[in-house]
Amino acid sequence: MDIKLTLMANPSHLEAVNPCVGGRARAEQHFLGGKEDSRTKVMPIIVHGDAAMSGQGIVFECLQMAELKNYEVGGTVHIVINNQVGFTTTPDRQRSGNYCTDVAKAISAPIFHVNAQSMPDVMRTFKIAAEYRQKFKKDVVIDLIGYRKFGHNELDQPMFTQPLMYSVIKKIENVRDIYRN
Domain contains 18: no
The total of structural domains in the chain comes to 1
- SS3 category, 113: strand
Distance CA 161, CA 144 (A): 22
Per-residue confidence (pLDDT) for residue 94, from 0 to 100? 77
Domain contains 97: yes
Domain contains 157: no
What pairing do the DSSP bridges indicate for beta strands 77-82 and 140-145? parallel
Domain contains 83: yes
Domain contains 139: yes
Per-residue confidence (pLDDT) for residue 58, from 0 to 100? 92
Distance CA 92, CA 12 (A): 25
Domain contains 142: yes
Total residue length of the chain: 181
Per-residue confidence (pLDDT) for residue 87, from 0 to 100? 62
Domain contains 10: no
C-beta of residue 4 within 8 angstroms of C-beta of residue 24: no
Of the candidates 101, 98, 108, which has an alpha carbon nearest to the alpha carbon of residue 81? 101
Domain contains 140: yes
What range defines the domain where residue 108 resides? 46-55+74-146
Per-residue confidence (pLDDT) for residue 128, from 0 to 100? 98
Of the candidates 121, 54, 38, which has an alpha carbon nearest to the alpha carbon of residue 94? 54
C-beta of residue 52 within 8 angstroms of C-beta of residue 14: yes
Per-residue pLDDT of the chain (181 residues; tens, 9 = 90+): 888 999 999 887 789 999 999 999 999 999 998 777 889 999 999 999 888 898 888 999 999 999 999 899 999 999 999 987 666 667 777 788 889 999 999 999 999 999 999 999 999 999 999 999 999 999 999 999 998 877 666 566 777 777 888 899 889 988 889 888 8
Q: Alpha-carbon torsion 97, 15, 22, 117, what sign?
A: negative
